[in-house]
Amino acid sequence: MAREFTSVGVVGLGTMGAGIVEVFARNGIDVVAVEISEPALERGRANLTGSTDRAVAKGKLAPADRDALLGRVTFAVGLDALHSVDLVVEAVPEHLDLKQRIFAELDRVCKPEAILATNTSSLSVTEISVATTRPNQVIGIHFFNPAPVMKLVEVVRTVVTSADVVADVEALCARLGKVDVTINDRAGFIANALLFGYLNHAVAMFESKYASREDIDAAMKLGCGLPMGPLALMDLIGVDTAYEILDTMYRRGGRDRRHAPVPLIKQMVTAGLLGRKSGRGFYTYERPGSPVVVPDETTPLAAEAGVADGARAIAKVGVVGSGTMATGIIEVFAKAGYEVVSVTRGAEKSATVCEAVKTSLNKGVVRGKLSEEDRDAALGRVTWSATLDHLADVDLVVEAVVEELSVKKALFASLDEICKPGVVLATTTSSLPVIEVAMATQRPADVVGLHFFNPAPIMPLVEVVRTIRTSPETTATARAVCAALGKTAVVCGDRSGFIVNALLFPYLNDAVRMLEASYSTADDIDHAMKLGCGYPMGPFELLDVVGLDVSLAIQRELYLELREPGFAPAPLLEHLVTAGYLGRKTGRGFRDHTHR
């Protein structure tokens, strides 16, 4: 039977420590909250009362329950106050020597049967445990911020942690209403090991001026449904904290270059640009601790990946292609008031595309998102054709054909001959080099990438991909068109994966490597990212939806172009694709799909 914890201690009352105190006290457990000095203790008390008062104001906690919660907490200076507790959770800054000193003292102060736990998010629980004479009673209990809200707890066992201690802590997590994933002691555990490689990569994109901070953040929020963009998240976590985590993971995790902190991060720490806590980081905030972003001119490398004015007038648009993406783009332009010429290969495909657009528009009417008059008007703006010659008088052509470079180059060479001067030629490619398509024409300055996301009528994001030959006017035109469509345009250079895929797929590949190493299960990894990071889907759920074959192809492109060893496709992913495990489309993937 699991041990009953009647009293716990929490060491360190910053945002995380105070949150952990609140979690225990909310669930009827007496807490001894400890700090190093009276001023630090008062700050911790203020953190706790502020959090509980906000919960009362939002109607999430009754005043009487708040008072009872606070009544369960005893505040004290010094570790001696923890002499009779059943469990101690340490939540001090991420410095190994500091944690080791605290654990050595806890070992002296606490009763022999007490469990000693660290809330570290990246340091070695094993190295912390050996500072005591009871390493078998030391464990990691990694709460996520804000602890009262986030459901996930990573329970980290070392090679000597007692099985009874693990079982007791797992039962405690259930009592606290948390979902625990139990894992071994390795750098970054699950969530941080997957999250911080992605964050570091995003900072590298920004540092190289590949895209603006706003565009990087908007791309990941709108393209992947993430609760925050990576740079805004870095500011929330704290740039200094992120540096410490990345540096620890790099040193402890095999010196993977993807975890080596980008130089800009260290520079920002040195300059005191720590994120929200200091009032400035990648963004500038109203005041230290405030979440309100204010305009600035001095944030590091804040120069926008902007474009010059001078957008060309666009009234008539050609869309080439017959797949789902093409039909979605036709619908988007027609609903926005543009005249559209739809070009497919042959009358039969043209009829199929026409029917698909009608079906989608009719669904909009049924769902109350579109009136019958607007549906009819949109359909009336579309001309259906089976020949490219009908594109002779359009102002913009959007290509949405198969992802084969030879096919796209041949098409653009034909468009170069047919279309009038000044027409913007856009490719919807998600992975091919736009410059190679552009150089198939005699007008590369007029060629741009317009990467819509599927389904185009619903997804709000478009990646505008400019090559080294794309003119500022062409880029400005592409942005203006996106605005007219009600889409958010993010501008980036012509590099494999653009923004979204370049950040998303290495993260998915890292998750496959973690599974391949038998570090955790697919279910626990998915739980960790959904409950610990607020992701809408876990990596394996997403891989099955996207298709393992599609994921492998994109990962191969990223590796071939960037030559980053960490981007090499995980062998497990290659083996599953070879065996026909492609995800939902085949009914077999990382999940056992019963419906194809």
Q: How far apart are CA 450 and CA 465, in angstroms?
A: 6
Domain end position, chosen among 263, 294, 325: 294
User: Is residue 479 one of the residues assigned to a domain?
Assistant: yes
Q: Which residues have CB under 8 Å from 185's CB, separation 6+? A: 124, 125, 126, 140, 156, 157, 158, 159
Write down the catalytic residue from 192, 278, 430, 501. 192
Instruction: Give the dihedral of Cα atoms 126, 129, 135, 137; nearest 10 deg.
Output: -100
Place of tokens 């094993």: 126
Output the six-digit token pair for 324: 């789902």
Cα separations in angstroms, 428 against 328, 431, 454? 12, 9, 11
The CA angle 139-145-149, to the nearest 5 degrees, is 105
Task: Round to whole Å and give the CA distance between 373 and 377.
Answer: 6
What six digits make up the tokens of 128? 């912390």
In a shared domain, residues 89 and 209: no
For 291-321, the pLDDT digits (tens) are 999 988 644 443 344 444 688 999 999 999 9
- Mark whether 142 is an active-site residue: yes
Q: Nearest CA to 31 among 79, 78, 88?
A: 88
Buried b (16+ CB within 10 A) or exposed e, 550-574: bbbbbbbbbbeeeeeebbbbbebbb
Q: Residues 154, 244, 331, 541: which is the catalytic one?
A: 154
- Residue 300: what pLDDT? 47
- Both 571 and 451 in one domain: the answer is no
Query: Which of 143, 169, 184 is the last residue in one of the domains?
Result: 184
pLDDT at 306: 41
Please check whether residues 151 and 225 belong to one and the same domain: no
CA 378 – CA 57 distance, rounded (Å): 47
Q: Tell me: do 289 and 417 sit in the same domain.
A: no
Does a structural domain hold residue 154?
yes
Rounded to 5°, the CA angle 320-321-327 comes to: 105
Q: What is the pLDDT of residue 502?
A: 94
Which CATH number characterizes residue 348's domain? Answer: 3.40.50.720
**Is residue 311 situated within a structural domain?**
no
Helices (H), ranges, 426-538: 434-438, 472-484, 500-516, 522-533
- Which structure tokens are listed for 483? 């605005």
Quote the domain boundaries for residue 380.
Answer: 316-493
Q: What is the pLDDT of residue 577?
A: 94
Residue 192 annotated in active site: yes
My answer on whether 324 and 422 are in the same domain is yes
φ/ψ (deg, to 5) at 151: -85, -20
Residues of the chain with pLDDT under 70: 297-309, 592-596
Is there a single domain that holds both residue 90 and residue 172?
Answer: yes
The CA distance from 44 to 31, in Å, is 13
CB within 8 Å of 149: residues ≥ 6 apart: none
- Give the max Cα distance, the chain: 86
Task: State whether 444 and 572 are in the same domain.
Answer: no
Q: Any idea of the CA torsion for 80, 81, 85, 88, to the nearest 10 degrees?
A: -70
Sign of CA dihedral 250, 570, 155, 164: negative
pTM: 0.89
Residue 113 lies in a domain: yes
Nearest to 429 by CA among 418, 437, 421: 437
Catalytic residue among 90, 94, 124, 142: 142
- CB proximity list for 550: less than 8 A, separation 6 or greater: none
Residue 277 CB neighbours (<10 A): 18
Q: Give the pLDDT confidence score for residue 592 in this predicted structure.
A: 62
Same domain, 114 and 88: yes
* Residues 6 or more apart whose Cβ sits within 8 Å of residue 64: none
Cα-based torsion angle of the residue sequence 96, 102, 103, 109 in order, rounded to the nearest 10 degrees = 180
Co-location of 264 and 199 in the same domain: yes
**pLDDT of the residue at 309:** 63
Catalytic residue, chosen from 121, 124, 360, 496, is 121
The pLDDT of residue 86 is 96
Residue 139 domain flag: yes
In a domain, 43, yes or no: yes
pLDDT in tens, 317-335: 999 999 999 999 999 999 9
Q: How many domains, the chain?
A: 4
390 plus 446 within the same structural domain = yes
Q: Are 204 and 176 in contact (CB under 8 A)?
A: no
Where residue 541 sits, what CATH number does that domain have?
1.10.1040.10
Question: In whole angstroms, what is the distance from residue 99 CA to residue 588 CA?
Answer: 45
Q: Does 124 lie in the same domain as 16?
A: yes
Cα–Cα distance between 543 and 583 in angstroms, integer?
7
> Does 175 share its domain with 47?
yes
340: nearest Cα among 323, 327, 352: 327
User: In the block, which residue shows the tokens 């009262």?
Assistant: 148
Q: Is residue 584 part of a domain?
A: no
Pairing of strands 461-466, 396-399: unpaired
Of 133, 159, 184, which residue is a domain's last? 184
Q: Is residue 309, in this structure, part of any structural domain at all?
A: no
First CA to last CA distance, the chain: 44
121 in active site: yes
